[in-house]
Chains A and B, each alone.
Chain A
Amino acid sequence: MNLGRDDRTRRSERVGESLTWLCGGALAFNLLMIVAVIGFIGYRGLDYFWQGRVALCRLEDGRRLLGEISGREERPPTPGKTLEMTGRLQLRVGNRDVTGAGFVWIDDDQIAEISYPEDALLLERLEWGHFYGRAVELRRGDEVLARGPDEVWRAFGPLHEEKVARREAIERLERGEIGDINFEIERLRLAGKRLARRDLSPDERALQEAAIAHETKEREAQYQVLADRLFEERESLAEEQLVMETADGERNAIAVGEIVRAVRPNAMSLLDRAGLYLGRVREFVWDDPRESNTEGGIFPAIFGTVLMVFIMSIAVVPLGVLAALYLREYAKQGVLVRTVRIAVNNLAGVPSIVFGVFGLGFFVYLVGGSIDRLFYPDALPTPTYGTGGILWASLTLALLTVPVVIVATEEGLAAVPRGTREGSLALGATKFETIRRVVLPAAAPGILTGMILAMARAAGEVAPLMIVGMVKLAPTLPLDHHFPFVHLERKFMHLGFHIYDVGFQSPNVEATTPLVFATALLLVLVVTLMNVAAIVVRNRLRRKYASSAI
């Protein structure tokens, strides 16, 4: 009998151990998932900037395709026939203006030969995306400046540099002076409307109207001059043309000024590639998007996100700290405060879209609408604040994240040892002085944690912002050199929304997916770093008070 009991015990231990392993398996699966997801985003995001080789595929039917191999798909075996896998290659062939499709799929068995010609030239263009081909000649009008791939390549470099400088000058002109004049003209238009509403004597009115009309005319004349100059400059961009030949032998002339970058991927050394990689990263971070967000950089989105999070922090930190101070230091602890605390806590669990709906109804329509009626009646019916904008988005997110700050601050306040407070009070400090000089500094890491967590959450949140102020492409940044410099009513771009928009609303999903991965990587990096920072700060805080609370 004893023996049987031992057996049973042993068996139950065996079973217990196996079940433990299964639990461990669950944990391992979780860890695997997180590592896989982050690793995958990292890999695909970083891969976006890497320039691969350009392959020339000769097909069985004699067609030739030039492009980068961008994917491979295994096809399941057809039932009843073979169990062998077949596959197909995805080739990014670019030349959308010539062929219409940027990508082609080729079955494995169609490919006769793949080679990597040295003189394959990849052009990144302002419009129509990539062009793959071979340079034939460089010409200015009818004059041929260079002929043959290598000669053209040598002549192209300096010429292109000059054109890029000119393009940048045009951009400066557009943004700077022309932008200023447009701004002034708009201001004058509104001044005119304001005048119409004001109670003035007819003479006075006529006088002022004339002044405005005069100024408007002057500005328009200035604008015309600049516009002409702009037109000329633009013309000069198209002066020189690069004649390219596609793999099929079709010739295409591309204006040098339209080319963002030209590379010969197959002739590049590893160092060249690394340089190109860094150049592309720089472009991604600092440049404006092109081709309706599918190419170029994401600077406006980064800028919009940062500015929004910044404005949100300005709103959320004082409010959250104030509320936490009240709850922890001033309010009489009782059922009511406990209830309020639970309510605030649970507010953090309320879906973000609900805050978006609230922000739309309250901030945008109610508050924004009232501001428009009171302060911007001239611009109506075009809403100024009565539409989504960066201010409303920031405030909505502030509401969304204020529970995070309150909870973290309360935790920080609670961790300040009683002895410290009592010491301060015993020295004759008032309660306010104690809080200001002793408690708050000690709780600062807690507040900081809350702020960082709030910022991280705000940076990653998209749903409420879709309702209260993001656009896919904002023509102007919410911050510029026109008074009052920060334009809180403007719409803005956001990294998270950029992912949604480019990934799902773009007509050319295959071409944009890599870009979205890069954007996602950036967002994940920002959010993760913020969270890691919060974790580190919090752990420090805990350690500090664990040692001092003896």
Chain B
Amino acid sequence: MSVVPEDASPSRLVDARRWSLNGATARRLRADRIARWTVSAGGLLIIASILGILVFILMEVWPLLSGATVRVARIVSLPSASLLTLLADEHRTFVAGLDTAGSLTVLRVEDGEIVLRQPLIPPADPAARSEHPSAGSAEAGATPLTLLDLSSQPTRGIVSASTSDGRVAIGRVRWPVTFDAQDRVTTPGIDPPVVVPLDPSGGPVAVHAVHLGEEGATVAGQLESGALAVLRRSSRENLLTGEITESIVRGEIPLAFRLSCLTMAPDGRRLYGGTADGRLFAWPLSGATLGPPEEARTAGGGITALALLIGGQALVVGEADGALSVWFRVPREDGSYALQRIRDFPPHAAAIRWISSSQRDKGFLAMDARGGMGLYYSTSGRTLWTGEAPVRAPGALAFSPKADAAFVTGEGGLAELSIRNPHPQVSLRALFGRVWYEGYGSPEFVWQSSSASDAFEPKLSLTPLLVGTLKGTLYSLILAIPLAVFGAMYASQFMHPALKNYVKPTIEIMAALPSVVLGFLAGLWLAPRLEQVLPSLLLMLLILPALVLLTGWAVRSLRSRIAARLPVGMEVLPFTVSLAVGIWFCIELSPFLESLAFGGNFPEWLTATTGLAYDQRNAVVVGMAMGFAVIPIIFSISEDAFSNVPQNLVSGSLALGASRWQTVTRVVFPTASPGIFSAVMIGFGRAVGETMIVLMATGNTPIMDWNPFNGFRTLSANIAVEIPEAPRGDTLYRTLFLAALLLFILTFVVNTAAELVRQRLRRRYAQL
């Protein structure tokens, strides 16, 4: 059995193994190889998949910041004249518009075939003719009149035009959908047009605006005389007789300038106008009466297009030099409103001619006279896409109702652009900067994600949540750092070893207390009681340290006589007792202090004297609960750092005559300080990500202030509150993933830094 040859060089060893191979050994070696591969592959896979968490979250967040993709879905050549104003149905099967002959036409998008066609103003309208002889001057067959200003309101399917004979005509297209077995069938229909005589003298109406509601129609326009006229026609049905009474009111104010554009708010309560010399007006409108306007000035060489975004609060203004801006009516201090330019978009190369706002969100499309197009989003201020219109000499532009397509007509026919625009609301500025939201007096940081309607503007600023996170962390660390670090210093340097064996596991148990239990105690038990005894907190700050000193002194002076049995380093036990007594004393004293110094009610006093709000579930409560959760972490790590300071350093210091305390402060503490730093960092990481405590012990209101008696909302609590409601792939969903990513990165970076510091410290200890 001479197995190993004498020169056991590696190669010989291999040989030796080979020649001793029998079946069993071969199997064993194979098993060894398989195990090696399995473990390596499995281990690598597990580690990769752990790190894959980060990748997955990143992938979910990524689409947030990508722009819109717009591609030409089709171009169909139109059989006859081009359309001058456009509407589209929800499913992108039909478009409607006014053609050059003044007819309301419905086309099938697929092939451009005309499905319906009807003159907007009925040609044989004897009433109209008799009322307006000027219109009747052209005999039947020829173009009876010219349509001057054309517009469309895609939300309601309304197309309108003003005429050269003083009338305004409103046509309405409906797209009723029926289901034939499984297939959806849209059958477009045109309502009988509403024709309203705006100018009794029959002069041309250069610009107009309409509002068609349930109760009637409101029409506004500038007359030849320059006057701005409003006519409101409402019909009311008598419930008893079924008789319909129609009432017409008309109002007019003189204007000294000519308007270039006019548009009406979707509720018919306000009229916006722009002039060719760059003036912008907003008139309040009640019934048919116009109030005094708010006025503002633009610098772009004249207003060429106006459109209101969904909700009717934001006005998009296009100007002759291509400038594009969003305006709000901003409340001023005296209660009045002023038109204010809120944000600008990159200018186009030519005058903006058409603006079509989305019916889904605060986005809009703009097109200039040369066919340059852009897709923009108001809240985030994002330019999502720019490009050229796919048809020459564009004549009209429409956003589809679902905001997933746009239609452009021009000489080349009708072009359908399909738009994929998943997350327009989000930009870095909208997430982290101040944003001027509709209805706000100034730009602010706001988190308000829930949306009741499409017109709601989701406010997705993460800043208040970040501030809330830091606020909660700060208040908990204020409590935790001194208690944990000094406690650890005492435990490692001064405490009796026998006691230490109990203290360390106790602190470990403290670390293991589920945070939901702490949150419950803080939110349901501590918060209401703390409100009653708040002054005692101030009292405790003073009394407790004094009491500790007193106890220490008492123990020392007693030790020489009776208490010799209490060894040095066991002072903690009497301290615990005296602290308990002290806390009880402070709480008992609190009502008296409150009635003496704070008028009997601290929260009221606080609000009255400092103006700070008092919320029952506030940062102090969270600070105490989360401090409790963080203390054991900081304690354990700093205790390690203190205990691992090489003994020779301590001995050397003591040998040179330094006292115990001097040694600790001048030698041990500086040596261990990197370890303490990393302990604090890790505690910080824990506090930043803590969810249940803040969820339960704060009111979760995303407000931004540092008032310790007010609540807040943290990133983590925000995720817990909102993600169950967020549909998958939605902007809110991804924004919450972004919040998770922020938490991940924040804690990962902090922990890594702490870990590196700790490793370096360990190496340094090894060298000492």
Contact = CB atoms under 8 A, between A and B. Distances in A.
A349 B686 contact: yes
A135 interface: no
A42 to B, nearest CB: 12
A352 B486 contact: no
B487 to A, nearest CB: 4
Contacts of A513: 524-525
Contacts of B646: none
A528 B514 CA distance: 9
Contacts of B607: none
B72 interface: no
Contacts of A78: 595, 600
A479 interface: no
Contact of B723 (A27, A357, A430): A357
Contacts of B696: 500, 503-504
A323 B579 CA distance: 47
A34 B724 contact: no
Interface string A327-370: 10111000000001011111101111111111011100100000
B591 A85 contact: yes
B56 A430 contact: no
B517 interface: yes
A26 B489 CA distance: 10
Interface in B488-518: 488-491, 494-495, 503, 505-510, 512-518
Nearest to B748: A346
Interface in B618-652: 628, 631, 635
A377 to B, nearest CB: 18
B300 interface: no
A461 B514 contact: yes
B755 A24 contact: no
Nearest to B501: A539
B516 A460 contact: yes
B517 A24 contact: no
A325 interface: yes
Contacts of B752: 342-343, 346
A36 to B, nearest CB: 8
Given A27-B495, A323-B46, A350-B689, A33 B628 contact: yes
A32 B540 CA distance: 14
Contacts of B720: 353, 356, 463, 466-467
Interface in A377-436: 399, 402-403, 430-433, 435-436
B43 interface: yes
B737 interface: yes
B515 A26 contact: no
Interface in A22-42: 22-38, 40-41
A20 B551 CA distance: 12
A76 interface: yes
Nearest to B590: A76
B747 A16 contact: no
Interface in B546-602: 548-549, 551-552, 556, 571-573, 575-576, 579-580, 583, 590-592, 594-596, 599-601
Interface stretch (B216-224, B340-348, B657-665): B657-665
A499 interface: yes
B295 to A, nearest CB: 50
A5 to B, nearest CB: 11
B36 interface: yes
A16 B47 contact: no
A516 B523 CA distance: 13
A260 interface: no
Contact of A41 (B32, B44, B508, B517): B517
A6 to B, nearest CB: 12
Q: Which of A24, A431, A467, A527 has the most CB of B within 10 A?
A: A24
Nearest to B739: A357
Given A27-B490, A78-B595, A431 B32 contact: yes
Given A29-B483, A31-B506, A323-B43, A357 B592 contact: no
B428 to A, nearest CB: 21
Contacts of A361: 56-57, 60, 728, 737
Interface string A274-300: 000000000000000000000000000
Contact of B517 (A20, A326, A523, A530): A523
Interface string A202-243: 000000000000000000000000000000000000000000
Contact of B595 (A34, A76, A360, A402): A76
| Consensus secondary structure, chain A interface | helix
Contact of B42 (A22, A34, A322): A322
A476 interface: no
A17 interface: yes
Contact of A322 (B43, B53, B494, B552): B43
B660 A26 contact: no
B580 A32 contact: yes
Contact of A32 (B53, B556, B579): B579
A484 to B, nearest CB: 26
A503 B617 CA distance: 15
Contact of A354 (B495, B583, B744): B744
Interface string B33-70: 00110011011101100110100110010000000000
B39 A329 contact: yes
Interface string B713-728: 0001001100110001
B549 A21 contact: yes
Contacts of B39: 322, 325-326, 329-330
A520 interface: yes
Nearest to B488: A27
Contact of A76 (B548, B591, B756): B591
A32 B521 contact: no
Contacts of A403: 50
B740 interface: yes
Contacts of A499: 516-517, 520
A19 B661 CA distance: 8
Given A330-B40, A349-B747, A76 B532 contact: yes
A531 interface: yes
Given A32-B576, A433-B32, A500-B692, A520 B40 contact: no
B689 A520 contact: no
Contacts of B474: none
Interface string A432-464: 110110000000000000000000110111110
Contacts of A17: 552, 556, 661
A355 B740 CA distance: 9
Nearest to B662: A16
Given A431-B36, A500-B520, A346 B755 contact: yes
Contacts of A360: 723
Nearest to A365: B728
Interface string A478-501: 000000000000000000110110
A357 B736 contact: yes
Nearest to A337: B47
Q: Which of B43, B523, B576 has the most CB of A within 10 A?
A: B43
A24 B514 contact: no
Given A13-B659, A347-B748, 15 more contacts: A22-B545, A22-B548, A25-B579, A26-B487, A29-B483, A349-B748, A357-B737, A432-B35, A462-B692, A463-B695, A500-B516, A503-B524, A503-B696, A523-B514, A527-B513
23 contacts: A20-B490, A21-B575, A28-B576, A31-B572, A37-B518, A76-B594, A77-B595, A77-B600, A79-B596, A330-B36, A349-B686, A351-B691, A354-B740, A357-B57, A360-B723, A433-B31, A460-B516, A463-B691, A467-B719, A503-B696, A527-B513, A528-B513, A532-B505
Interface of A: 9, 12-13, 15-38, 40-41, 74, 76-79, 83, 85, 319-320, 322-327, 329-331, 340, 342-347, 349-358, 360-362, 365, 399, 402-403, 430-433, 435-436, 456-457, 459-463, 466-467, 496-497, 499-500, 503-504, 509, 513, 516, 520, 523-524, 527-528, 530-532, 535
Q: Which 8 pairs, one residue from A and one from B, show the smallest C-beta to C-beta distance?
A: A351-B689, A326-B43, A16-B661, A460-B514, A21-B552, A25-B548, A28-B575, A76-B591
